[in-house]
Structure 1
Amino acid sequence: MLRSRLINLPKTVKRNISTNIPALQKATDPIQQLFLDKLREYKSKSTGGKLVDAGPEILKEHQSEIDKLNVQYGGDKGVDMTQFPQFKFVDPAVDVGSVDKK
């Protein structure tokens, strides 16, 4: 029944549906199930974009690397490096008197 409905779909849609169906089902392999459980556990721990299970020495090293990158790419204290830079283009003044009139 599903195959008869898929006959009218483009080939790329058929391919995407057929490759995603096994991913939507429950894992039958115990190793695969363990992997999926670990992914779900990691997802639940990684809230707010923070490092997962990081000790104080890892956080200190992470902050020092961020500080080095900020200095290298022009960030200073008080500069928000997550914002896109604002560009201001000013047209140069043109001296019309020096243009040769013919």
Structure 2
Amino acid sequence: MLASRLAAVGRTVQLQVRRNFGASAVVLQKVDPIQQLFLDKIKEYRQKDIQKEAATDPDMLNELERLKGMYKVKAGEDMTTLTVPSYQDIAVENIDLGLTTTSDGVEVTTE
């Protein structure tokens, strides 16, 4: 009885391994360079098409002009790019808690 169950489990595992190997072999293959070039050109063309459409869309231009007036944007400033803010660390002073550290690392209150 145990042997028949083990045989059934073995056949099931063998079937699953065969199926998974067949499915993963396609995924693990390297991309054909010609196919990759074709995909890159499609992405590039699509990006250029989106930028061209945004530059000639009258609704988008009207909205940008409205926002420029609302936020008082200077002439020549590009509203379609994000600016990266720069932050500076604040200098923090040491706070005297009345504690001193001795040579052996023990903190002692000095009051």
TM-score, normalized by length of structure 2? Answer: 0.32
Decide which structure has the larger Cα Rg and report it: 2
Q: Which has the higher strand share?
A: 2
Q: Which has the higher helix share?
A: 2
TM-score, normalized by length of structure 1? Answer: 0.33
